[in-house]
Structures are given as C-alpha cells and as structure tokens.
Amino acid sequence: MSQSSLRGRTALVTGGSRGIGAAICRALADAGADVAINYRERADAAKKLAAELRTKGVSATPLQADVSDGDAVAKMVAAVTAELGPIDLLVNNAGVAITRGVDDLTEADFDRTILVNLKSAFLCTQAVLPSMRMRKWGRIVNISSGAARGAGSIGPHYNASKAGMEGLTRGYAARLVKEGITVNAVAPSLIETDMMKGQPNLVSRIPLGRFGTADEVAKAVMLLVDNPYMTGQTIALSGGMAFN
C-alpha cells in the first residue's frame, strides 16, 4: 500500500503491544493511518510502540482495556474516537493460547479462551459498527489461526474459538457488504512470536522450513484492508502446511 493511502483514517488494533499486533500497527502507520494500540498488561511496550509510530508522522495512542469486557470496550472506543477520531479500521488480534490436552482441559480454560479470542471480536465489532455504517466505510480484519480448520497444537478449546471467529467473520461480512464495510480474516500458522518460543521442533511440520514472521501476517492484513471487493474471506498463511 502507498504511504498515504490510509491518511486520515483511524485504526484500532487489539492486543497491539507486541508480536503480530505490533507488526500490524507498524504496517497501518506506514500506510498513513492513526493507530490506537490496545493492550491489557504491557503498558511499557504499548507506550514505546506508540512513540515509534509517531516518528512515522501519524498519531498513535496506547489504550489499556480488557477486550473481553463489554464496558471496557465501550470506554476504549469512546476514548479512541475522542482522541483520534471515529474508527475506520478494526483488527481483532487479542488472544490467548492456553496449551491443554483433552485430559487436562478445564471448564475455566475453555471459558477464558472463548471470552478472550471470540467474544472480544464480537464486542469490538459491535462497538465500532455505528460510526462505520454512518460513514459507509470500514475494514474489519480478524486474526484467526490454522487451528480453525486443522488439528492445531494448543487444544480443542483454541480450535473452537478460532473456528467461531471465522464464522463471525462470514456472518458480519454478509450483513455489512452493502454498507461499504468489509470483514475478513487472516489465519496464520506457526508464526515466530513469544507464543512459539522454545518450540523449534514444530519447524519440521512446515514445508517451507521456517516459522512465518509477524511482518508477513501484517502484509496479509494490509492486502485485505486495501481491497474493497474482498469480503467474508479467510487468508491462510502457513508456509505450505495447508497442502500437506
């Protein structure tokens, strides 16, 4: 995307302080968007990233909120709107990956995973839709996972949360397509982030022979943001694992 193609647009990235979220924030800022960086715990990382983004000539603000909580989401969206303007682009990236097997998966693990990975995407989407619909323009990108359709290595609860996210993507896309709002997903598998540290054995499963990078995920997000004709789709990003 050109450096000014999103000039005057405001983006909100949940879980934006590190890893894939931070890479997406950088890509959006490079395209000229003002960026709200949501975080839950990592205030220092979010503030540092906001300072970095400002050097690109855009506005950037870190915002603490637990996006699985409806009241917190409403306050966050109001704060972004007051500081940066109405939200044009939403990237639902916040998530947890609690690795569990069938025998040690608890109800609490299941509930927390669905809350943080799936309910958060619903809450944030509902909160930004009124302003997008009013202006007849919006881009929503949900960060799914290869686990939505494959076995995955984290557990059935994680599979369920990401499969739900892709259903949510299609459901909103179908209902918003006539209002200038696109809703798509990116499903990365085995990206080199903090989640993957200490698991080099997993590389053997990737035909390409290496983990993907957060920047590669961000590029897929920007492709969806840039394409007004593409909606309801999930882009798989897996280094060839999908063909195995």
Active site residues: 158
Q: How many other C-beta atoms can be found within 10 angstroms of the C-beta atom of residue 202? A: 12
Q: How many other C-beta atoms can be found within 10 angstroms of the C-beta atom of residue 128? A: 24
Q: What is the sign, positive or negative, of the torsion defined by CA atoms of 121, 127, 133, 135? A: negative
Question: Token pair of 40, please?
Answer: 């839950």
Report the distance separating Cα 234 and Cα 220, nearest Å.
10
Enumerate the β-bridge partners of residue 182.
Answer: 139
Phi–psi pair at 13, nearest 5 degrees? -115, 120
Report the distance separating Cα 165 and Cα 120, nearest Å.
10
